[in-house]
Every structure is written in C-alpha cells, then in structure tokens.
Structure 1
Amino acid sequence: MVVVIDPQQAGISGNMMVGALVNLGADSESLKEIMEYYGSYFGDINVKIGDINKSGISASFVDVQCSDHQAISYSKLLDILDGISHGKVTPTILKFAKKVFNTLAMAESLVHGVNLDKIHFHEVGAADAVADIIGASYAYYELGLADKKVYGLPPALGGGRIKSKHGNLSVPAPATLEILKNVPAMGGPVNYELTTPTGAALLVNMVDEFCEFYPLITNQKVAYGAGKLDLEFPNILRIVTGSSPIPTDKISILETNLDDVTGEVLGHTVDRLMEEGALDVTIIPTIAKKNRPGHLLRVITKSNMSDVLSEIIIRETGTLGVRTIPYVHRNIVSREIIPVEVDFDGQMKTVRVKVAKIGVEIVNITAEYEDARKVSEEIGIPLKDVIRIINQNANLG
C-alpha cells in the first residue's frame, strides 16, 4: 500500500491531520482519550471529534479546546513527556512525536537565532500542540502508515498576515518556511494561514518523498480532515491510500561537460563514482564550446549522495562545476538475482539471471553478463548465442 498526503487545497494543521487519520479509520475514542490524557499535563483541555461538512465535503473534525495558552520551553516539554506513560502510546510513537517537536524547535531556533534550550512554544498553547502531535503520531502508527510508502504533495500556505508574540507576521510564518525548506509548496489562495508550523512539522516527518503531482496509484480509500476556518472552498486535508503497480524512488542526476579529459581519466572517474555509491554512470559523446569534441558525464545517484559524488567528479576531472537535477522520480520494478539450470546442447550449466517483476508478474529475465561470458569460454559458443539461450530457456519453475 502507498499513501498520499494531499494538502494542496487548504494546507495542513495539526487538527486537520488528526481528523484525516480518524476519517481514514483511526479509533476516535482512543484518540480522544490519549489526546486529553497527554494534553492535561500542560493545561485544561477538551477534545471533541465528530463529522462536519465543509463546502459539500463530509470530513472528520477534531476540535481541541484549551483555556490555558501558556508558553513552555522545549526542554521542559521533553522532560514532562518523558515522565508520562500510557498503555497505548509505545516508545516508538513517543519517539516519533518528540521528533516532530524537535522539528518545530529547530525551526524556531534558526529563525530567532537562539539555542534550543532557549526556545519556547508561544503561538499555540502547550496543551494544544501536545494533543495534536501525540494524537497524530498515535493514529499514524495505529493505521500502520509508518510501514508504508508515504508521498506528500505541495501544501497550500495561505497569505496575508497573522498576529504573533513577535508582532504581525506575513503568512507563511517564518517557522513554517524553515520547516518546509526543500519541499514544494504553493502560496494562497486566501489571506489566511493555511499551513501551520505544527502541520508542516507533522508533514515533513511523515512523508518519505515529496512530488508535485499524484504518483501512479490505484485509489482504494480517500479520507478528509477538516480545518476550523469556513472558506469559499472545502477547508480539508485529503489522504489517499491505495496500491502502486510500479514503485518509485527519489534520485538526483549529476551532469558536467568535459572537453579536456583523457579516456584514461574518464574510465577511472567512472570506476570511482560506482565504488562510492553511484547508481549508474553514463558518458555521452557531444560537441562542446568552439565545436570541440567532448563528453557529457551523467550520474544517477541517491539524493543524499549528491554532494559527495559531485566532489569526486570535480577532483577527478578538474571540471569547474557540476549541474544537479534534484529529486527526480524514477519508476522501478523489483529485481532479484536467481541461479537457474540451463541446457546448452546437453551440457547443464548453472547461471544467474536478473528477474524483474511488477507485483508477482515476471516482466523480464536477463542473463548476468559474467556468467554468460564464462559459459561462452567453457563450451565455445559465441557470447550472443549463450545470452539468447539463457534468456529463452531459463527455467524459474
């Protein structure tokens, strides 16, 4: 199963996330009890969970009512959380919730230029924030979403200005922007705050991969969580669950043009890049400046390896720059290497083949080059014929 969190229409807040997870199937009675239990350590709190209609869309609405909006330091909040226990809130759930709070605190620390131990949560009462984050964390794990591939779409941020402890601030709030660094997002479409820091912190910690459009998915269930504002459009957060026949992963592409590098250096660079973790390296003949013959070096890599591999390219080739195309989505099929027995004119040989599958369906079988080459040398059959025989006769039954 894959999950898509879609805040494109009306953004995301803590209570919207909890509402969407309730609508997806999380137990509302347990959630209410847990949210009030943890929130009561920080203030007077009451949680109401029910159904509501937002501009024609039926959604779940989580109303967290708190009369005590006191500020609390980040360190004190963690100390209190560590002293609370609940039978349904496992250490894993609590660890995730604390990670969300850390995201909030780090953003505030960077925005205001102070150390973490000086950070206070001003804009929402501690009880509200704890209820939303603990509730969302519990529902996230109760539904098993932590074990699924979770995609995130660009959140709508809103616009205008909001009142804060630091005066009137433009929307999105500085902390929200800090949390959403390197995440695609959209302004508008109204002069209200649509994405809150709490909602943004939950989003970035739940999502495995952000994309601008819906990934390939067979929709099985759609859930809606409502926000408090009544807008001219449905003020809802949408979560879609379903299956994806072809999984995707997130990669980056590195490129540079080379017109003064020898073949020996190019070959060595390819070896170095593959040794250091590149997924694939390609050298493409091209025409460079002043009609000089050159090469385009292209590297496919996991995004977290981009800086390391870019430095290798620069050091090995002397190029003055490496272009990075970040967060490219790659459709992939599951692959495994399987040993098989193949009959070569009465001679049985064990060779490995690469088997590609979509779900349980085998879509391609390819002979492993080194095994095919070894068989070709042993029995004196041309390599191209060995590969053809393996591909046609590999028995996976």
Structure 2
Amino acid sequence: QQAGISGNMVIGALVSLEANKKTVKEIMEYYGSYFGQITVNVGDVDKSGISATFINVKCSDYQAIAYSSLLETLEGIKHEKITPTILNFAKKVFQTLAIAESHVHGVNLDKIHFHEVGAADAVADIMGASYAFHELGLTEEKVYGLPPSLGGGRIKSAHGNLSVPAPATLEILKNVPVKGGPVNYELTTPTGAALLVNMVDEFSEFYPLITNKKVAYGAGRLDLDYPNVLRIISGTSPIPTDNISILETNLDDVTGEVLGHTVDRLMEEGALDVTIIPTIAKKNRPAHLLRVISKSSMNDILAETIIRETGTLGVRTIPYVHRNIVSREIIPVEVDFYGQPKTVRIKVAKIGEEVVNVTVEYEDARKVSNELKMPLKDVIRFINRKMSF
C-alpha cells in the first residue's frame, strides 16, 4: 500500500507469479515495435531487501498517438498467443485511459491523443500485462485490491507541470479507495491505474480471508527508503469462487406456456439456473425478466436458445461475474419408511470440513412421495429426522 502501481510493476509481479517470462517479453517487444523502437529486459532486483522482478522498458518513440489510430493498429497485429479475449481486455484498458483523458480535457474520444503514456511504452505494458493476467487464469478468480498510494509533488506533462496524481489517474480511480503520499513522486501512473480497475473485482482496506499460497513482487523504477514493489498474493478462500455469466432479456408478449418451455430448454442446453421475475416494461406493460446463469463457454448457445424460443430481439450478457460457492457432496442414504427401505440422495454442503447444510434431493423425495402415496412435505420431514450429519 506504500508503493502505488505502474504498468511495468504489474507485469513484474505477474512474471514473479510465474507468468511465462520469455513470452511476456516477446509480446511486449512485438506489439511495441509497431509504434516505435523498443527493448524490454526482465530481471530480478533488490528493493530495500526485497527481491522483485523488474521490467525495464526502453523506448525511443514518445510521439503522441490518436486513440482511434491505436485501436485500428492493434486490430491489425496478429500473434499466436494473443486471443480475441486477451485483445478485448487490452482494448478495455486503453478505453479506460481514453475516457479519462476525454473527461479531463472535455473533448470527444475521437479527439483523444495519448501524450503522457506514450505509444510503444503503453502498448508494451498493456499487452504484456493483459497476456500475463490471462495466462495465469486470473480472470477465472476473484481479484481483490488494496488502496494504492498516489504519491505527491509535481510532474512534467504535455500540458505543463501538474500536481500528483495526474488528472487522468484521479479520473480513472473514481470510486476506488486511494491514499496520498508517502513521498513526493508519482507512484500511481495512469496506465497502472487503468490496469488496476480492469483487473480488480473488489477493493478492500485490508486483505480478505485467504490461505496464502504464493507471494510475488514487481519492482518500480524508483529507489525509495522503503521497498518500492507491487505485491500480489495468490491463495485460496475457505469459500471457493466460480466464474459465471448472466444472460437477461425482458419479455412482454410471451405466454406462460412458452416461458415454461423455454426454462426447460435452457436447463437441457446446460444453463446452471434459470429464473423468471415479474416486472413492468416499456409503456407500463406487465412483463417478465428472464435471467439465466451460465458458464461463459455456453453464452452463445444459450443466447440463441432464448432468441429462438421467445422471439426476443436481444439478449444482454453480463460476463465474468464471480459467485461464492460452497463445496458439496452427494451421498446415497437408505431410509426405512415404516418397513419399506428407500434409497435417496442427500446433498451435503461444506465450508472446509464444516457441514453447513444438508438437504434431500428433490427428485428422490418426490419419487418416494409418489410410491408411498405420502405428502412430499412429510417425506422430507421424515428423512430429515433420520439423517445425522
């Protein structure tokens, strides 16, 4: 929380976390070379007694570049390791920077030129960080961030001397907890801030409950009287997280029969859950909100099913939603119903080794209810009394 964050610090920490050093360097130089002369060196350095990975980027090109031109050039560059997902993530980071500059200077996005972040340097940092972040599978994990230190003093810019933090940095970090100081240097850069807000799911003043598995350090360029390093801690939570997507659409002209059939079809196609919520739509018409929880890999298939079954003109997709889940185990149990043994499956939910909930599988309870001509609520109550977990 003392050292702030910059693009090369993020990459250094991710390489220290065991992202492929050779590939990261190759990608940084490859993409950066389209915008100027660039060399990247990766090595370990000592920062006030802490061994950290330092990404040293040297560029001979500091020319401004239009945001629209930058995106167009990026689209035309191909690299076997850069998937469309990684490229889209990198473009989101550049968009974050561009929107911040747009707000600060009061101009449209098509008028934005990147001055302070340069061209080759910024592209190298953002592409390298985006690749390393995805290579480590961190988009599938919940990522927490602590308040970054912004620094202090003044910096030179294309618009003259500015107070630290730079206006773009402050704009990017809206609604993010931050701290000033503790030195009169720029500690958090616009590029570092843009990477931070796109990588972090939740900000917290303190570390969350976590079992630490690995600690990685990325070094900053400045030598300060404390370790100028960005620290990333990788670990596990007592309550695991899962990465899902949410698909939604509003329906105001679909019958109950079609809605019921659509739910069945979506579950058959692989949806994790489907809910229908009564709502009020345009022109105050009664309607239903169809909400589907899906694995990201199933988004396109399920969206097509929604469109085909309901005739809706569009489906909203909310990607990369993290949910907390408890581990659960299915245990077959034989229960004696007044001399008639029946086997039912029991779902046991746990946090670590602690049992937090026990329920009978609905379909099994329903089958017993039909076979014994016994009300379902009585079957469930009877099974619950017999279980001892």
Letter in 2 for 1:233: Y
d(CA) in 1 for partners of 2:278, 2:217: 44
Report the alpha carbon displacement of residue 386 of structure 1 after superposing the two structures with TM. Answer: 5.9
The answer to whether the Cα contact below 8 Å between 1:366 and 1:391 also exists between their aligned partners in 2 is no
Q: Which residue of 2 aligns with 1:104?
A: 97
Following superposition of structure 1 onto structure 2, how do residues 151-190 of structure 1 map, counting pairs within 5 Å? Answer: 151-190=144-183
Letter in 1 for 2:204: C
The answer to whether the Cα contact below 8 Å between 2:155 and 2:164 also exists between their aligned partners in 1 is yes
Question: Given the alignment, which residue of 8, 12, 28 partners 2:5?
Answer: 12
d(CA) in 1 for partners of 2:188, 2:343: 58
The answer to whether the Cα contact below 8 Å between 2:142 and 2:241 also exists between their aligned partners in 1 is no
Question: Given the alignment, which residue of 23, 26, 35 partners 1:33?
Answer: 26
Secondary structure of 1:51's counterpart equals strand
* Residue 179 to residue 335, structure 1, CA distance change in 2 (3 Å): farther
Secondary structure of 1:149's counterpart equals coil
Following superposition of structure 1 onto structure 2, how do residues 296-375 of structure 1 map, counting pairs within 5 Å? Answer: 333-334=326-327, 342-347=335-340, 355-359=348-352, 362-366=355-359
d(CA) in 2 for partners of 1:380, 1:86: 63
Q: Structure 1 regions of 5+ residues with no counterpart? A: 1-7, 250-273, 278-329
Q: Which residue of 2 aligns with 1:87?
A: 80
* Residue 335 to residue 154, structure 1, CA distance change in 2 (3 Å): farther
Question: Given the alignment, which residue of 12, 16, 22 partners 2:15?
Answer: 22
* Residue 103 to residue 381, structure 1, CA distance change in 2 (3 Å): closer
Report the alpha carbon displacement of residue 131 of structure 1 after superposing the two structures with TM. Answer: 0.4
Post-superposition Cα deviations, 1:17-38, rounded to whole Å, max 9, x if no partner, equal 0111111112222222211111
Q: Which residue of 1 aligns with 2:257?
A: none
d(CA) in 1 for partners of 2:375, 2:213: 54
Secondary structure of 2:230's counterpart equals strand
Letter in 2 for 1:393: M
Alignment of 1:206 onto 2:204: no
Report the alpha carbon displacement of residue 162 of structure 1 after superposing the two structures with TM. Answer: 1.6
Q: Which residue of 1 aligns with 2:65?
A: 72
- Structure 1 vs Structure 2 CA RMSD: 3.4
Q: Which residue of 2 aligns with 1:387?
A: 381
Report the alpha carbon displacement of residue 393 of structure 1 after superposing the two structures with TM. Answer: 2.2
d(CA) in 2 for partners of 1:127, 1:74: 13
Secondary structure of 2:358's counterpart equals strand
Task: Say which is worse superposed, 164-173 or 353-362, in terms of deviation.
Answer: 353-362
d(CA) in 2 for partners of 1:275, 1:337: 30
Q: Which residue of 2 aligns with 1:245?
A: 238
* Residue 183 to residue 344, structure 1, CA distance change in 2 (3 Å): farther
d(CA) in 2 for partners of 1:391, 1:121: 68
Q: Which residue of 1 aligns with 2:186?
A: 193
The answer to whether the Cα contact below 8 Å between 1:341 and 1:394 also exists between their aligned partners in 2 is no
Report the alpha carbon displacement of residue 124 of structure 1 after superposing the two structures with TM. Answer: 2.2
Q: Which residue of 2 aligns with 1:140?
A: 133
Letter in 1 for 2:114: F
d(CA) in 2 for partners of 1:161, 1:391: 71
Q: Which residue of 1 aligns with 2:113?
A: 120
Question: Given the alignment, which residue of 103, 115, 123 partners 1:130?
Answer: 123
Select the structure with the greater relative contact order (CA < 8 A; seq sep ≥ 6): 1
Letter in 1 for 2:65: I
Letter in 2 for 1:44: Q
Post-superposition Cα deviations, 1:353-373, rounded to whole Å, max 9, x if no partner, equal 66322257644314699979x
d(CA) in 1 for partners of 2:103, 2:330: 47
Report the alpha carbon displacement of residue 347 of structure 1 after superposing the two structures with TM. Answer: 4.8
d(CA) in 2 for partners of 1:208, 1:24: 19
d(CA) in 1 for partners of 2:89, 2:154: 31
Secondary structure of 1:15's counterpart equals helix
d(CA) in 2 for partners of 1:29, 1:45: 16
Question: Given the alignment, which residue of 200, 217, 222 partners 2:215?
Answer: 222
Report the alpha carbon displacement of residue 220 of structure 1 after superposing the two structures with TM. Answer: 1.1
Task: Say which is worse superposed, 224-233 or 362-371, in terms of deviation.
Answer: 362-371
Secondary structure of 2:144's counterpart equals strand
d(CA) in 2 for partners of 1:107, 1:89: 26
Quick one: percent identity of the two aligned structures? 73
Q: Structure 2 regions of 5+ residues with no counterpart? A: 243-275, 280-322
Letter in 1 for 2:18: G
Report the alpha carbon displacement of residue 201 of structure 1 after superposing the two structures with TM. Answer: 0.9
TM-score normalised to structure 1 length: 0.69
Letter in 2 for 1:23: S
Report the alpha carbon displacement of residue 172 of structure 1 after superposing the two structures with TM. Answer: 1.7
d(CA) in 2 for partners of 1:364, 1:133: 44
Post-superposition Cα deviations, 1:257-286, rounded to whole Å, max 9, x if no partner, equal xxxxxxxxxxxxxxxxx9479xxxxxxxxx
The answer to whether the Cα contact below 8 Å between 1:340 and 1:394 also exists between their aligned partners in 2 is no
Q: Which residue of 2 aligns with 1:322?
A: none
Secondary structure of 1:17's counterpart equals helix
Post-superposition Cα deviations, 1:52-106, rounded to whole Å, max 9, x if no partner, equal 0001100000011112100001000001111111122222211111111111111
Name the count of aligned residue pairs: 312
The answer to whether the Cα contact below 8 Å between 2:360 and 2:383 also exists between their aligned partners in 1 is no
Question: Given the alignment, which residue of 23, 30, 35 partners 1:42?
Answer: 35
Q: Which residue of 1 aligns with 2:318?
A: none
